[in-house]
């Protein structure tokens, strides 16, 4: 990677950030609460991510956040849903 290239990538990502992210209830919070370690899937992801899910439950942008995470195939707690829950919602929507 050329000097300054990482900076350009970061700036580009920031420019493309959806506007709703500025209203996120999780801004400034530690990310660990939203990303259970590998191996915590299904109901384990929900129990291990309880702290993050609690923050999401009062977040004003939970709807667009969950939709964004689903569209992007992101893993972790987003929009008061776990990775597995979003996959299930996607499958049901595709049926």
35 sits near ligand SF4 (criterion: CB under 6 A): no
Among 35, 62, 82, 85, contact with ligand SF4 (rule: CB under 6 A) = 62
List Cβ<8 Å contacts ≥24 apart for 26-33: 26/52, 26/55, 26/56, 26/59, 29/55, 33/77
Which of residues 44 and 55 has its CB atom nearest to ligand SF4 in the complex?
Answer: 55
Which of 26, 36, 49, 85 is close enough to bind ligand SF4 by CB under 6 A? 26
The two three-digit tokens of residue 56, written as one number = 């999401």
The answer to whether the CB of 59 falls within 8 A of the CB of 65 is: yes
Residue 84 binds to ligand SF4 (criterion: CB under 6 A)? no
Q: Kindly indicate which of the ranges 2-10, 18-26, 35-43, 83-91 contains the residues binding ligand SF4, using the contact rule CB under 6 A.
A: 18-26
Q: Half-sphere exposure of residue 38, counting CA atoms within 13 Å on the CB side?
A: 0
Residue 65 CB, shortest distance to ligand SF4, in Å, is 3
């Amino acid at each position: 990677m050329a000097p300054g290239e990482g900076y350009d990538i970061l700036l580009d990502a920031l420019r493309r950030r959806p506007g709703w992210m500025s209203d996120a209830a999780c801004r400034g919070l530690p990310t660990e609460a939203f990303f259970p370690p590998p191996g915590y899937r299904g109901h384990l992801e929900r129990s291990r991510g309880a702290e993050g899910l609690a923050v999401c439950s009062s977040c004003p942008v939970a709807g667009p956040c969950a939709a964004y995470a689903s569209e992007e195939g992101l893993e972790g707690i987003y929009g008061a849903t776990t990775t597995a829950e979003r996959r299930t919602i996607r499958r049901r929507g595709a049926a």
